Structure 1
Amino acid sequence: MPTAREIMTPNAECVNADETLVDAAQKMARLDVGSLPICGTDNRLKGMLTDRDIVVKVLAQGRDPKDCTAGELAQGEAVTIGADDDAREILRTMASHKVRRLPVIDGHDLIGMVALADVAKALPDAPVGDLMDAVTTD
């Protein structure tokens, strides 16, 4: 069974908690991603920021993304996966938290991101179909 380390996208870039959402959106556009891990000044993971967060929690509320920081949208403890956790654990974690992307942590260091697509490529169809059902239903 492959591990997170084996199927992740390495070298994930963070958005700093004190960066504006305009900066975060520009970084997302440059990297062609829909989410970024939020890291604090201590280089620890503070949460995840998605393009949807920016739209729903800022733009739709009439707030100015130049006046909001990524850290303001970090909610609680980020859901992560250990670098040596296997694909079954990735599936369980994604399903139980209804997420499609997980930061991969080695100790306290962010070393990559694993997405649903990464798991789908690494596993047979049946477990991935079950995960899709879990993350897309309320």
Structure 2
Amino acid sequence: MTRNLRARDIMTAGVTCVREEQSLLDAARMMRDLNVGCLPICGDDQRLQGLITDRDIVVRCCAEGRDPASVRAGEMAGTLHWVDAEAPAQEAVDTMEIHQIKRLPVIDVGDGHRLVGMITEANLAKNLSDEDIAEFAVRVYAAN
């Protein structure tokens, strides 16, 4: 990254969470209504518990013959990676590359570990050089 950007500078703010006790059907409807492919999962304490993607719902629920109306979002939480809002934006890119992920929650550690945004490929495309975008794509998509 050519500028001294922080994760907060490149994220999309105003992220909506699905609560861990809500069903995957609720999560799917929220994704549809918000026009997103991923939702953070938040617990009763409003803290980030995980992420759920539209692909998770299809592959880990529907394709397994489970009813999305009876599976709780919290059951899909999985491994969680995040970045501090004040961290250099390059740290977010590095985390996404290392873990081969396309979305990264942004947490404000100084404000009680509150979820403040999400970094996606679209955010990177707006803030990285063409060369950096190509490198990201190779590391995330071609490394498998």
The match for 2:106 is 104
Match of 1:123 in 2: 128
What TM-score do you get using the length of structure 2 for normalisation? 0.92
SS at match of 1:25: helix
Q: Which residue of 1 aligns with 2:118?
A: 113
Q: How many angstroms apart in 2 are the aligned matches of 1:115 and 1:62?
A: 30
Counterparts of 1:14 and 1:127, CA distance in 2: 30
Moved segments of 4+, more than 3 Å: none
For residue 67 of structure 2, what is the aligned residue in structure 1?
A: 64
TM-score, length basis structure 1: 0.96
The yes-or-no answer on 1:135 pairing with 2:137 is no
Q: What per-residue deviation string (whole Å, max 9, x for no partner) do you get for residues 9-32 of structure 1?
A: 111011000000110001001100
Give me the identity figure in percent.
Answer: 45
Q: Where does residue 88 of structure 1 map in the other structure? A: 90
Mapped partners of 2:73, 2:12: distance in 1:
22
1:41 is paired with a residue whose SS is coil
Unaligned regions of 5+ residues in structure 2, if any? Answer: none
What is the CA distance between 1:44 and its match in structure 2? Answer: 1.1
Aligned residues: 137
Deviation at 1:48, TM superposition (A): 0.5
- Structure 1 unpaired stretches of 5+: none
Q: State the Cα RMSD in Å.
A: 0.9
For 2:75, the aligned partner's letter is: E
